[in-house]
Structure 1
């Protein structure tokens, strides 16, 4: 009788917390758990934990890609503000992101420098440079960007698909979305594979320190 009462209280508290956090947000978790509010809340907590675990590997990928791609574009075009060179012919969207980065820096009282703009630009900007763009295959990939991924032996398009997939995954985490239903082992492997394209030693370090496998093993 006592155990039944405790279980009822646990269920009632879980239902209350689900309502507090947002019925719509928790509905997906309750559906995955057959309507069990306690299990849904536990799954939601684990989803938060695994999202946090992915933050580190994704951060390393974003920083490494930005650094490697900037290095190669700066070297090829021989200027730190490489986007102001006419040769890349950035798309309208790319130019807009540059302008927004500069505006954001001015908004907080800073005079934009090439380094500041590079740091301010979102991950999506760098991913887009691996896309088709305005003839990016000839203008950017074959002239410079292939060197940012020295161990990659394929064409530009498959690499773009891989990193764009990870961009979408990263944004899902950034917006606190559910990722528990994904093939997370494959997502983790994809991050490490893209890191290996840039530097095998970096990929090894990230693999060694990643918390993702540990948290995956504790999935409720």
Structure 2
């Protein structure tokens, strides 16, 4: 790409990304063209989202299975999503029931018939993270056995780590800059949470993730100028 074409492309990118975001990206590697830095940011973001998706799916399905079984053992009929025992509401989870209601409404807009699995798919990582919070300690004491890596310990630490992963995922989803972060630490956090869920999940992500290779390639491409502003 010649200088004039590169300059035009950078101008267009700055228009599309916005001046503030473009300047923030440029701080990461001042000698590199904006298009390349933006591509790095998107490539790494997509890879980390892929890693997080494995954790989110495993978490969602394990918790769902455990909650279905728990409700049946308590002698209640119906879906735990409807809170037939009233336990979620009694523990201060009215906001979670509102999220479930919103998920059902979303499914109704897209499909004529609402299934349990459809509603689960609409619930966000934030929902599952909140469900593992301290407010639901009584519930969590019954659920911690499903997380093989926790091994009987409190799952509050898992909830805290999930909250950090949620914040990172939201940052990526909103197209914010992530290149200035210590992304190796972020990847290690994903692996740590996966290991809490099941060591085999952590092994699977390590084996299949594109993130480590992308990190090495981009780091070797240019030495980054690290900004001093907060994350």
TM-score above 0.5:
yes
Moved over 4 A (4+): none
Corresponding position of 2:206: 207
CA distance, structure 2, for counterparts of residue 184 and residue 125 of structure 1: 25
Q: Partners in 2 of 1:216 and 1:93 — Cα distance? A: 38
1:65 shift after superposition: 0.3
Does the CA-based 8 Å contact 2:66-2:146 persist in structure 1? Answer: yes
TM-score w.r.t. length of structure 1: 0.86
* Of 122-131 and 14-23, the range deviating more from structure 2: 14-23
> Aligned to 1:24, which of 1, 9, 20?
20
Aligned equivalents of 1:191, 1:216: Cα separation in 2: 15
State the alpha-carbon separation in 2 of the partners of residues 155 and 28 from structure 1: 39
Q: Within 1, Cα distance between the matches of 2:160 and 2:198?
A: 19
> What is the CA–CA distance in structure 2 between the aligned matches of 1:105 and 1:210, rounded to whole Å?
31
Output the CA distance in 2 between the equivalents of 1:23 and 1:88. 45
2:133 to 119, 123, 131: 131
Deviation at 1:80, TM superposition (A): 6.0
TM-superposed CA distance for 1:20, in Å, is: 3.1
Secondary structure of residue in 2 paired with 1:217: helix
Give how far 1:11 is off.
Answer: 5.4
Name stretches of at least 5 consecutive residues in structure 1 with no aligned partner: 1-5
Q: Distance in 2 between matches of 1:164 and 1:80?
A: 30
For 1:31 and 1:180, the matched residues in 2 are separated by 10
Q: Is the 8 A contact 2:104 2:119 kept in 1?
A: yes
Q: CA deviation at 1:32?
A: 3.2
Structure 1 stretch displaced more, 85-94 or 192-201: 85-94
Q: For the structure 1 residues 157 and 32, does the alpha-carbon distance in structure 2 shift closer, same or farther, using more than 3 Å as the test? A: same
Q: Against the structure 1 CA distance between its residues 108 and 32, is the aligned structure 2 distance closer, same or farther, given a 3 Å change threshold?
A: same
1:180 and 1:108 mapped to 2: Cα distance? 36
Deviations 1:44-88 (A, max 9, x none): 110111111112211100100001111111111115611322123
Q: Deviations over 1:77-113 (max 9, x none)?
A: 1156113221233512101100001111111233222
1:80-119 alignment runs, 5 A limit: 81-83=79-81, 84-85=83-84, 86-89=86-89, 91-119=93-121
- Number of aligned residues: 208
Aligned pairs for 1:28-107 (under 5 A) are 28-34=24-30, 36=31, 38-78=32-72, 81-83=79-81, 84-85=83-84, 86-89=86-89, 91-107=93-109
Give distance in 2, aligned partners of 1:19 and 1:186: 29
Runs of 5+ consecutive residues of structure 2 not aligned to the other structure: 223-231
The two structures, once aligned, show a CA RMSD in angstroms of: 1.9
Q: Which residue of 2 aligns with 1:166?
A: 165
